Amino acid sequence: MARRPLAALTRAAATRTLRAPLAASLARKNRFATTAALALAAAALAPTVASAQGMGMGLGLGNVGPDLPAFEVPDGSASVLTATVSQSIEANTNYRLDRDSPGTSYYGDTRLALDLLKRTDTQTFGAGIDTGFRPLWEADESTDVVVASPSTAYLTFDQEGANTAFDSNFRLRSSEVDDDIITFDVDNPVPTPLDGIGTARQTRIDGNVGFVLGSNDPSSYEFRVRGTSIDYSSVDDGVNVTPRDSLSGEVTWNLDVSPVLSTVVSARYGYSATDDGLSTEVRTTSLDAGLAYERSETFRIRGGIGYADRERKQDISFTNSNRTTESNSGPLLRTDMRYITENVTFLANAEYTTAAPQNRLSGNLGAIYRLPRAQLAGQVFQNYSNGSGGDDQRITGAGIGITQEINTVSSIGLNAAWAEQVDLEGPDNSIKRTTLTARYTHEITEAVMAQVGYSYRSRNQDGTADSNEVFLVIGRTFVTGF
């Protein structure tokens, strides 16, 4: 059976859409017909306005504020360039989620988004940028003009050969205020900590490169490298942020034993470095073997058992730079599943490991179900990271969203999300984040779309802070083929 990387499968479907906030400039289609893998795949080709908030990480169910629907590109070969200009007007009762709100802030993003897509039967290339400026009238602060938040850029390239497959994806996301709480990325599983709210600008860079050798042979090999870098600038005093870098590599050998069953052997290595005051470094290695049942490209389930080793090094204290080492090793279990059809998409993965100070379960489950005039989406995840004090943190989250067409030019949407960050080594000072957003979207013409909505955010960390936001955005897209 021909093997293509999951990122390539989902991105091949995702190339039906571009960032443009239109649903019908090239062809008027059902806006919910886009393959659900677009939202689920972290490596989605073109981060649309909708996904720009979360850079395609998960389903974006924690996004707040404007979220214009994506533009659809006809199936088959295409060479398309789009340019989108948009303007938003927003009012927020607690812009930075302070425990004591200073008052209502007003702002609006003036944006320009450029997207290039070139697709053939065997090759896909995409690139784009979405940025602008934000006049900001923040409560109790002088008027300022900052870079639009979030600002994003991406570059992707896929190539299928006679017996090989290559996929790559790189993205950059810069945000002044990190509103996203469900940021688990299927392809780059480095969660953004929940304690980064406040006056700071976060810059996150993700990369994912994969290569399959022998994609049409009974025996095939897949090589993959992932990397993430998270950094901060313009940080105010008292705002806890934790810059971090991570790099991982994976080699997988598949050997068919029947048309639908194969053996799988995987070796993995991961490294992360965190600027948490203790210069924490974590190295993990693992080897596992199991079976895969793959009926077709649309359905696959795998599972295996193996052994893992984890080593954490950090300074003894904030004033003592001598290093201490914590080592753990033990069995692990892995499983993953994908089911991708025209109306249903389901992606899940999980790992249970004993190579940690306490047994840990991490994973991600996301699904989309499309009806003729509606779409329902959901996601749950759990992962582990390092906090600002060097302690291990567990981040758990869930979200749900529904979009319903009113008629051929209007729709309403509602999404809600929740996440919690728990310190596994220190005192019980968990952080809880919640968002709720409702939107009404209307196509004014085939080239112009408008949206109004309301968002609610809350954070519970040594006290509760919340905010209410109303917004209006209008966008115009220009499309050309070449």
Q: Is the pLDDT of residue 302 over 90?
A: yes
Tell me the β-bridge partners of 454: 438, 470
pLDDT > 90: percent of the chain: 48
List the single range of 9-18, 137-146, 300-309, 370-379 with lowest mean pLDDT.
9-18
User: Which carries the bigger pLDDT value, residue 83 or residue 37?
Assistant: 83
Q: Is the pLDDT of residue 101 over 50?
A: yes
- Classify residue 122: in a domain, yes or no: yes
pLDDT number for residue 406: 94
Q: Is the pLDDT of residue 12 over 70?
A: no
pLDDT number for residue 440: 96
pLDDT number for residue 40: 39
- Distance separating alpha carbons of residues 46 and 51, to the nearest angstrom: 9
For the segment 64-78, the average pLDDT, to the nearest whole number, is 71
- Classify residue 79: in a domain, yes or no: yes
pLDDT number for residue 123: 92
pLDDT number for residue 86: 94
pLDDT number for residue 305: 97
Q: How confident is the model over 112-131, as pLDDT tens digits?
A: 999 999 999 899 999 999 99
pLDDT number for residue 194: 65
List the single range of 27-31, 62-66, 115-119 with lowest mean pLDDT.
27-31
For the segment 308-334, the average pLDDT, to the nearest whole number, is 91
- Classify residue 1: in a domain, yes or no: no
Assign 61 a pLDDT band (cuts: 50, 70, 90).
confident
pLDDT number for residue 188: 53
Q: How confident is the model over 444-455, as pLDDT tens digits?
A: 998 899 999 999
Q: Are 105 and 481 in contact (CB under 8 A)?
A: no
CA dist list (Å): 173 to 57, 149, 165, 178, 343: 11, 9, 27, 10, 30
- Classify residue 300: in a domain, yes or no: yes
For the segment 409-434, the average pLDDT, to the nearest whole number, is 85
- How many domains in the chain? 1
Tell me the average pLDDT of the chain.
81
- Classify residue 92: in a domain, yes or no: yes
DSSP 297: T
Please report how many Cα atoms fall inside a 13 Å half-sphere around the Cα of residue 470, on the Cβ side.
1
Q: Is the pLDDT of residue 69 over 90?
A: no
pLDDT number for residue 60: 66
List the single range of 266-275, 350-359, 391-400 with lowest mean pLDDT.
391-400
List the single range of 6-15, 34-43, 233-242, 453-462 with lowest mean pLDDT.
34-43
pLDDT number for residue 388: 67
80 membership: H or E segment, kind and range? strand 78-92
> What's the CATH code of the domain at 327?
2.40.170
Q: How confident is the model over 381-393, as pLDDT tens digits?
A: 898 887 766 778 8
- Classify residue 324: in a domain, yes or no: yes
pLDDT number for residue 92: 94
User: Which carries the bigger pLDDT value, residue 428 or residue 46?
Assistant: 428
- Classify residue 310: in a domain, yes or no: yes
Q: 466: domain range?
A: 6-481
DSSP code string of 89-119: EEEESSTT--SS----EEE--EEEEEEEEEE
- Distance separating alpha carbons of residues 467 and 437, to the nearest angstrom: 12
Q: How confident is the model over 176-199, as pLDDT tens digits?
A: 765 555 554 555 556 666 665 566
- Classify residue 314: in a domain, yes or no: yes
